[in-house]
Structure 1
């Protein structure tokens, strides 16, 4: 007897996950409908039914990748911290751990970034999402500036958000380069040490 039919949204997610596995292994250049169908163990026609053509699959995979890498989620545990500085510290720790956990996502994201040099639509999509991710930090930075104006004298919410995102993205890149030896705790401790040294240098100046 035939099995129960698989809902279209479940099948679509299955195909996108298979597309990620192919692209992570072979690069975007190796992302063919036939390769994805084989990885997902579905027919070539079913992949085309959901994504129409290879180009559609490439763009949909970028959306899937962004949803799994560049969307900021503030957990309930983090939101309960009363101090903005404590929430920021926990959020940095969460994002550094999350993005360093799967270096293949970072590697593929950079490959899409390179593809954007030749494709305006890809470039615009990535640029929009990177800005959205940075903007998600602005509200906590604005609260931080109000709570501790002396500590962050001269800083702006935009500047602090940009620095925070730079730390997180740098963490992801280091984890991609050396996943066997990268340690999020050591990275965060180094960040705290650098901040402390810069603060003391600023006070002495």
Structure 2
């Protein structure tokens, strides 16, 4: 089959991406295959090979779509910088809504594939590094405002905050009855409150 013309290729790309997203939402990364995407679109798997010549290419595109969806999601406006901004960012990560739950389920389902592939693992590592980079300035501001001890290692505190958020995500996904929306918010508030009186995390 000849590859599609450039105009057709660009016109179909959005359709392909939307089909990939629908498969992710319904089946997670475990169910993401060329056959599943082709069935979702009502086309042959051969057509999709013009877009995704390998399973890795398909998964890489799906991860990019997921990162885009995560970046474009509605976000809270914090009442102030520093720790209030950290709180807002933590709440934005958690599965507090149906959309947030679906997004987190897809992210968690991607970990197994990424851990088994060095290239995908490196890309995931870069994503989490960028997430820490977005948290760090707010902790530095909080330190400047006296919200946390002056000798706090903000790099280590940033890593702890991201680890806390993702640990809570996993628990909420697997035990939503125990970790309801109210419980998750309360745990974030406890975490933020503890930061003000934390034992300094020094370098």
Map of 1:67 onto structure 2: 68
Map of 2:3 onto structure 1: none
Map of 1:3 onto structure 2: none
- Classify 1:99/1:161 alpha carbon distance in 2 versus 1 (closer, same or farther; 3 Å): farther
- Classify 1:101/1:189 alpha carbon distance in 2 versus 1 (closer, same or farther; 3 Å): same
Map of 2:113 onto structure 1: 115
Show structure 2 runs of 5+ residues with no match.
Answer: 1-6
Say whether the 8 Å CA contact 1:100–1:172 is kept in structure 2.
no
Q: How many residues align?
A: 193
Say if 2:184 is the partner of 1:187: yes
Map of 1:128 onto structure 2: 126
- Classify 1:68/1:99 alpha carbon distance in 2 versus 1 (closer, same or farther; 3 Å): farther
With the length of structure 1 as denominator, give the TM-score of the two structures: 0.72
Say whether the 8 Å CA contact 1:99–1:172 is kept in structure 2.
no
Show structure 1 runs of 5+ residues with no match.
Answer: 1-5
How far apart are the structure 2 equivalents of 1:178 and 1:42? 38
- Classify 1:193/1:132 alpha carbon distance in 2 versus 1 (closer, same or farther; 3 Å): closer
Say whether the 8 Å CA contact 2:23–2:36 is kept in structure 1.
yes
Say whether the 8 Å CA contact 2:75–2:92 is kept in structure 1.
no
Within 5 Å, give how 1:48-59 maps onto structure 2: 48-59=49-60
Aligned-residue RMSD, C-alpha: 3.5
- Classify 1:105/1:74 alpha carbon distance in 2 versus 1 (closer, same or farther; 3 Å): closer
Deviation by residue 1:63-109 (Cα, 9 ceiling, x = unmatched): 2223334x49895833xx44423222223223325687443433443
Structure with higher helix content = 1
Determine helix, strand or coil for the equivalent of 1:52: coil
Determine helix, strand or coil for the equivalent of 1:51: coil
Map of 2:4 onto structure 1: none
Map of 1:162 onto structure 2: 159
Say whether the 8 Å CA contact 1:112–1:122 is kept in structure 2.
no
Out of 100, 103, 110, the residue aligned to residue 105 of structure 1 is 103
* C-alpha deviation, 1:38, in angstroms: 1.1
- Classify 1:155/1:115 alpha carbon distance in 2 versus 1 (closer, same or farther; 3 Å): same
With the length of structure 2 as denominator, give the TM-score of the two structures: 0.73
* C-alpha deviation, 1:57, in angstroms: 1.1
Deviation by residue 1:86-139 (Cα, 9 ceiling, x = unmatched): 222223223325687443433443343222333110111111111111111111
